[in-house]
């Protein structure tokens, strides 16, 4: 798996709701490790399984740290239990190359998830982590950050997004465009 294997806007898997993770086995660990490598190769800080064409509800995050390798975080079946506040922050996405924009999201969340061993955990997060978490959790629900922009901003991005979708050569593009109001 390399950065070239990351699904790009227009891939239908990015629009599907991912299935829950039920097996926490060696294979899951291996896929997660490959996702970390792929994400770092692509200079990303978060990657959700649907972005590598696996429609399962897990994601990895590499939290930047000063003078150290990024911290490797894994979340399966995440569920946001509580949110507070709202804040704007610029986002990009490895599946939407060349597009960045400011997105409004809650600034604090309480989250329940399962770790790589399948143990249920809870976490309170803010700052960059909560931003990346929400972006990646959206991926598990078939939502892309561009969906969260105002209609005016989405309008400005329309041709760039259409170009990305068409570059994939997906023959189902016209159905897709209709369904998701590209
Ligand atoms: Ni993304």
Q: Are 113 and 146 in contact (CB under 8 A)?
A: no
Q: What is the CATH number of domain 3-173?
A: 3.90.45.10
| Per-residue pLDDT tens over the stretch 128-150 | 999 999 999 999 999 999 999 99
Q: Which tokens go with 162?
A: 């259409």
Residues tagged active-site: 136
Read off the pLDDT band of 169 (50, 70, 90).
low
Under the banding of pLDDT at 50, 70 and 90, the label for residue 170 is low
DSSP type of residue 119: -
| Ligand 1 centroid to residue 46 C-alpha, Å | 7
44 alpha carbon – ligand 1 mean position (Å): 9
Ligand 1 centroid–CA 136 distance in Å is 6
How would you classify the pairing of strands 68-84 and 46-48? unpaired
Distance 153 CA to ligand 1 centre (A): 18
- Rounded-to-integer distance, Cα 11 and Cα 165, Å: 7
pLDDT more than 90, % of the chain: 81
Domain ranges of the chain: 3-173
As given in the structure block, the two tokens for residue 174 are 């016209």
Q: How confident is the model over 55-108, as pLDDT tens digits? A: 999 999 999 999 999 999 999 999 999 999 999 999 999 999 999 999 999 999
Say what angle helices 151-167 and 173-180 make with each other, to 10 degrees: 170
Residue 175 pLDDT > 80:
no
| Stretch 18-26: mean pLDDT | 97
- Are 165 and 182 in contact by the 8 Å Cβ rule? The answer is yes
């Amino acid at each position: 798996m390399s950065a070239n294997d990351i699904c790009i806007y227009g891939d239908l898997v990015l629009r599907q709701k991912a299935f829950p993770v039920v097996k926490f086995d060696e294979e899951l660990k291996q896929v997660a490790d490959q996702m970390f490598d792929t994400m770092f190769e692509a200079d990303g800080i978060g990657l959700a399984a649907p972005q590598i064409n696996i429609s399962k509800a897990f994601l990895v995050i590499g939290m930047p740290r000063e003078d150290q390798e990024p911290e490797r975080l894994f979340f399966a079946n995440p569920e946001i239990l509580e949110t507070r506040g709202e804040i704007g922050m610029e986002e990009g996405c490895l599946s939407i190359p060349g597009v960045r924009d400011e997105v409004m999201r809650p600034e604090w969340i309480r989250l329940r998830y399962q770790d790589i061993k399948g143990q249920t955990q809870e976490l309170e997060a803010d700052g960059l982590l909560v931003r990346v978490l929400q972006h990646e959790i959206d991926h598990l629900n078939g939502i892309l950050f561009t969906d969260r922009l105002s209609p005016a901003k989405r309008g400005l991005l329309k041709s760039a997004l259409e170009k990305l979708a068409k570059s994939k050569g997906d023959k189902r593009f016209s159905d897709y465009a209709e369904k998701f109001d590209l």
